[in-house]
Amino acid sequence: MPDGLGLSQETETVTVAVADVEGSTPLLERLGEARYDAALAAYERLLRDLLAEHGGAEETSAGDGHMCAFGSARAALAWAVGLERAVPCADVPFKVRIGVHTGDLERRGGRLYGRAIVKAARIGALARGGEILVSAVARDVADVGDAKDLWFEDGSVVELRGMRGRHRIFPLRWAERDFAPERVVIADDSALIRDGVAALLRENGLDVVATAGDAEALQAAVARHKPDVALVDIRMPPTWTNEGLVAAEAIRRNHPEVGVLVLSQHIEAEYAIDLVKEGEHHSGYLLKDRIADIDILLDAVRRVARGGCVVDPAITDGLVRGADARGVLAGLSESERSVLDLIAQGLSNRAIAERLTLSAAIVEDHVSEIFGKLGLESEGADDRRVVAVITYLQATAHA
């Protein structure tokens, strides 16, 4: 029906999920505006990617708060759990609290209006960081009784600010489930290497779905199987020059969801740098010698599969040592140089902390100092900060 402004009104039953960042003001003060904005941008990309996956829509946002709408309560809960699971893995320094409620809303002029939005926001305000609170209505219609990794704790009766009566809410809990193994296609002209690498990856829990001996077979395998990662030898038939690199570029262009990890017999820094800079994410470059170190190979495959960048340590170490020898990095401490090298390799702050046995807070401080001293605007997400560092080190090599 039309409203007083001549805009059409439609009433629909919607599940509303309101998410916001706990303690955003002190976090902003601790991180500084540039680092906070970069972290918020990474968090919002994650939130929106998950919305697309679960069929939700971002209705409104203000600062670090987002109101999202779903056609089903079950989809809303799956999205909320996915977000809570993903945030710690994405190295985003946030704790997110989420409130979920189902009710009838009016859509006027393309926007949703109604009490259900307010109730979801009030429920979310009672949650702690990392917690999802759900109204009784949303709990009942979601019907997650057959979900093995989701359950509700006993509810409690609460008052919600500005709303009459008392309301029952339920904390949603979830199991940290095992994720499906990464699916890999391997391309190498040597059957011995193909089969050996495939056996190593399978022994360590990865799913090798196909192998190929040339670039044409590689591209056919990728199109058929849609793997998480294509592991590609840089030199393949018929000329054994750069067929693998050309194939990698075609995969990235035609199947951007597939990660590409290029293997090379020799250090070819320009290839490696171009691959990462042009691809920006889901890409990597390793020396073939790394196959002998299964931990390095597994780490690289998994990081590329999850959207990261990987650059062989031999290349980043050479770039850092070269810049240091020219005095470009004179303002960095020895610890900061070590952190810079690992940033260029594509490691997250958390992984750097583990590698160097430092606390996460110390690594964050080092990263902030490094980007400040090098005049880089922001470390950004992992993939972009790799590109920023590589670009900087490469530019200083020719200065």
Mean pLDDT of 18-24: 91
- pLDDT exceeds 80 at position 344: yes
User: Is residue 279's pLDDT more than 50?
Assistant: no
73/136 Cα distance (integer angstroms): 11
Could you give the angle at the alpha carbon of 14 between the alpha carbons of 9 and 17, nearest 5°? 125
Q: Whole-structure pTM over 0.85, yes or no?
A: no
- Residue 146: helix, strand or coil by DSSP? coil
Map out the domains of the chain with their CATH numbers.
Answer: 9-174 (3.30.70.1230), 183-311 (3.40.50.2300), 315-397 (1.10.10.10)
Mean pLDDT of 222-250: 89
Question: Which of 71, 74, 98 is CA-nearest to residue 84?
Answer: 98
Asked if 20 and 124 touch (Cβ cutoff 8 Å), the reply is: yes
Q: What is the pLDDT of residues 25-42, one digit of tens each?
A: 888 888 888 888 888 988
Q: Do 93 and 27 meet the contact criterion of CB atoms below 8 Å apart?
A: yes
CA 197 vs CA 86, 202, 210, 287, 385: distances in Å = 29, 9, 12, 14, 30
The pLDDT value recorded for residue 396 is 66
Per-residue pLDDT of 103-114, as tens digits, reads: 999 988 888 889
Which of 65-69, 117-121, 215-219, 393-397 has the weakest average pLDDT? 393-397
